[in-house]
Structure 1
Amino acid sequence: MAQKAAKSLAARNASTLTRTHLIALALHTIYLVLHFTFNRPRSLKPYLLLAGPTLVIEFYLERLGRPRYTDDGNLRTPGEDLGATGLTEYMWDVVYWTWGCMASVCLFNDRAWWLWIVVPLYSVWLAYTTFTGMKSGFAGMGGGRSEEPAVAGGESKRQKKLEKRGGQKMQYR
């Protein structure tokens, strides 16, 4: 029962990586077979340009998450959690989206590579929402302007609402 969590993480990572590599191999093989057998008037430039980063990401995830064992078969390191949030999650999104674009290109034509433009647009949107979230977070600390000017009497909105409903009136000493 020693290292049960590490062993389960290692097994989960190994199965995820194996599945990822098999799907990638199948998609790339189908694309290349269709490209060379039907002799389509296409260049391999979009394929290399847009599928190349996915191969780099897969190599990185392989190095990051592959469990390592000692010579006698004991688990040395289970690898990093491939289901982690943050950058790892974003890399999986890029891999899955590229797979979808490759499948679309196989079914339709090279114009389906334009679907890949969603990835940088999504990155820009995430950066924008993060920035605006930080900006509104700093608003309460004097970093941003409040929407209403300060009340002369020092009453907050909550106090005004309570007084309007007939609740307790604040008494200042």
Structure 2
Amino acid sequence: MAQKALKDRAKANISALNYLHWGSFAVNLFWFLNYITFDNRSIVAWIVLSIPSFICQYILETTGRPTIDEERGVIKSSGEDLSAPGLTEYMWDVVWVTWGVALLAVFFGDKAWTLWAVVPAYGLYKGYGLIGIARQMAGMGSAAGGTDEAAAAPAGNRKQRRAAATSS
């Protein structure tokens, strides 16, 4: 039962990475075979818009792949959790949207690549939300810092607070 959590995460990461690589291979091979057969798609659009997906796949691979000590048969590191929310989840979304748009481009033409604009638009939306949260936190920090005398509660016991409230 030693290292059960590490083993479970390592197994889940290996499964997810295998799905990632085989899925990428299948989608890109299908697109490329269609390009060779019919030659009616833009390879430049495919290369340019697939680069972010390939970068995300590389990052997911390097951070999520478990490392195992071959001599002792022990897991050194189970890798980062590939089902974690946040940036990891966004990288998976980039990969999936790229796959979906590549398949749509095979069936409906190069105009389907414009749907890929959803990826940076969603990133900007999430980034704007983070900026709003940061502003709220900064606003709460300045109010709690005691810069506003009326809002700051005087320290001390109840008798001292009443005296401070009646004197102001």
Same fold (TM over 0.5): yes
1:140 to 1:68, Cα distance in 2 relative to 1, 3 A: closer
Q: Residue in 2 aligned with 1:17? A: 17
Contact 2:65 2:78 in 1 (8 A): yes
Where does structure 2 lack aligned partners over 5 or more consecutive residues? 144-149, 151-164
1:75 to 1:138, Cα distance in 2 relative to 1, 3 A: closer
Q: Which stretch of the first structure deviates more once superposed, 124-133 or 100-109?
A: 124-133
Where does structure 1 lack aligned partners over 5 or more consecutive residues? 144-153, 155-171
Q: Residue in 2 aligned with 1:163? A: none
Q: Residue in 1 aligned with 2:120? A: 120
The letter of the residue matching 2:27 is: L
Q: Residue in 2 aligned with 1:47? A: 46
CA distance in 2, matches of 1:141, 1:63: 37
Is 2:98 aligned against 1:78? no
Q: Which structure carries more relative contact order (alpha carbon 8 Å, separation 6+)?
A: 2
Q: Residue in 1 aligned with 2:26? A: 26
Q: Tell me the matched-pair count.
A: 148
Alpha-carbon shift at residue 64 of structure 1 (Å)? 0.8
Alpha-carbon shift at residue 87 of structure 1 (Å)? 1.4
Say which structure is richer in helix: 2
Using the aligned pairs only, state the percent identity. Answer: 37
The letter of the residue matching 2:116 is: W
Q: Secondary structure at the match of 2:76?
A: strand
Q: Residue in 2 aligned with 1:67? A: 66
Q: Residue in 2 aligned with 1:135? A: 135
Alpha-carbon shift at residue 43 of structure 1 (Å)? 2.7
CA distance in 2, matches of 1:80, 1:135: 30
TM-score (norm. length: structure 2): 0.79
TM-score (norm. length: structure 1): 0.77
